[in-house]
């Protein structure tokens, strides 16, 4: 098997990297709970990716597998999503189920975020056609190098329980479970830097 080549995304790569994430999350429990209708998912999820993780492009912490078969959007320490824009987008476009329980889910997510400086992973995903070829692991390993080098925590919420073993292999530990009303469970995970 060929080792995937990881590249840092520039502005010209943004649309293709976001498209890879959209494909990767097309069967994600939390994404499809928010937009169960396929047309609504395809219409609104790309904007959600941009609002939630788009700062990664600005800070050169968005990575993709050569050929755009997968992408990871990392937010550096002290860089955050525009929460007001995020909530407005979700309240305007999310399903009735999300309208009922979504804000409480995000409140619970906020309780798990570390207080100390940390890298945050809003999105990592591989096109389903290319899954199982080491692309996700390569994306994770590439992005975790600065965490180890700078002795910085890394944090994520896994919205798909199938991905937890991948994250555990990379050193993440499960902190708990976030679940409100009809929402699918979301799993906050933290990684301490490796020496």
Model confidence pLDDT, tens digit, residues 115-157: 999 999 999 999 999 999 999 999 999 999 999 999 999 999 9
User: Which pairing describes strands 187-191 and 173-174: parallel, antiparallel, or unpaired?
Assistant: antiparallel
User: Could you give the CA distance from residue 100 to residue 151 in angstroms, rounded to a whole number?
Assistant: 39
User: Could you give the CA distance from residue 85 to residue 48 in angstroms, rounded to a whole number?
Assistant: 9
Return the closest-CA partner of residue 59 out of 111, 141, 122, 116.
122
Domains of the chain by start residue, with CATH: 6-191 (3.40.630.30)
The pLDDT > 90 percentage for the chain reads: 92
DSSP state of 66: T
User: Which pairing describes strands 6-8 and 62-65: parallel, antiparallel, or unpaired?
Assistant: antiparallel
Tell me the β-bridge partners of 121: 156
Enter the tokens of residue 160: 């798909």
The number of residues in the chain equals 195
The mean pLDDT value of the chain amounts to: 95
Enter the tokens of residue 100: 């009922």
Instruction: Give yes or no for residue 195 having a pLDDT over 90.
Output: no
* Residues 112 and 173 sit within 8 Å (Cβ to Cβ): no
**In this predicted structure, what is the pLDDT of residue 3?**
86
Question: Which pLDDT tens digit goes with each residue over 84-105?
Answer: 999 899 999 999 999 999 989 9
* Residues 189 and 118 sit within 8 Å (Cβ to Cβ): no
* Residues 8 and 60 sit within 8 Å (Cβ to Cβ): yes
Instruction: Give yes or no for residue 83 having a pLDDT over 80.
Output: yes
What kind and span of H or E run contains 120?
Answer: strand 118-126
In which band, very low, low, confident or very high, does the pLDDT at 51 lie, cut at 50, 70 and 90?
very high
Question: Which pLDDT tens digit goes with each residue over 171-180?
Answer: 999 999 999 9
- CB atoms under 10 Å from CB of 10, counted, come to 11
**In this predicted structure, what is the pLDDT of residue 92?**
95
User: Which pairing describes strands 187-191 and 153-158: parallel, antiparallel, or unpaired?
Assistant: antiparallel
Three-state secondary structure call for residue 95: coil
In which band, very low, low, confident or very high, does the pLDDT at 1 lie, cut at 50, 70 and 90?
low
User: Could you give the CA distance from residue 172 to residue 156 in angstroms, rounded to a whole number?
Assistant: 9
* Residues 94 and 23 sit within 8 Å (Cβ to Cβ): no
pTM of the model: 0.94
**In this predicted structure, what is the pLDDT of residue 33?**
97
């Amino acid at each position: 098997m060929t080792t995937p080549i990881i590249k840092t995304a520039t502005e010209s790569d943004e649309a293709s990297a976001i498209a890879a994430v959209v494909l990767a999350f097309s069967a994600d429990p939390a994404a499809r709970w928010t937009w169960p209708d396929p047309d609504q998912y395809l219409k609104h999820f790309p904007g959600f990716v941009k609002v939630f993780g788009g700062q990664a492009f600005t800070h050169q912490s968005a990575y993709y597998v050569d050929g755009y078969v997968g992408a990871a959007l990392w937010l550096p320490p002290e860089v955050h999503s525009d929460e007001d824009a995020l909530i407005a987008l979700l309240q305007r476009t999310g399903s009735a189920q999300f309208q009922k329980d979504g804000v409480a889910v995000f409140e619970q997510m906020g309780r798990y975020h570390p207080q100390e400086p940390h890298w945050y992973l809003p999105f990592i995903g591989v096109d389903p056609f290319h899954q199982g070829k080491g692309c996700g692991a390569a994306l994770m390993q590439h992005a975790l190098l600065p965490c180890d080098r700078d002795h910085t925590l890394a944090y994520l919420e896994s919205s798909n329980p199938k991905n937890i073993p991948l994250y555990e292999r990379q050193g993440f530990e499960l902190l708990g479970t976030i679940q409100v009303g009809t929402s699918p469970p979301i799993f906050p995970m933290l990684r301490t830097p490796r020496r």
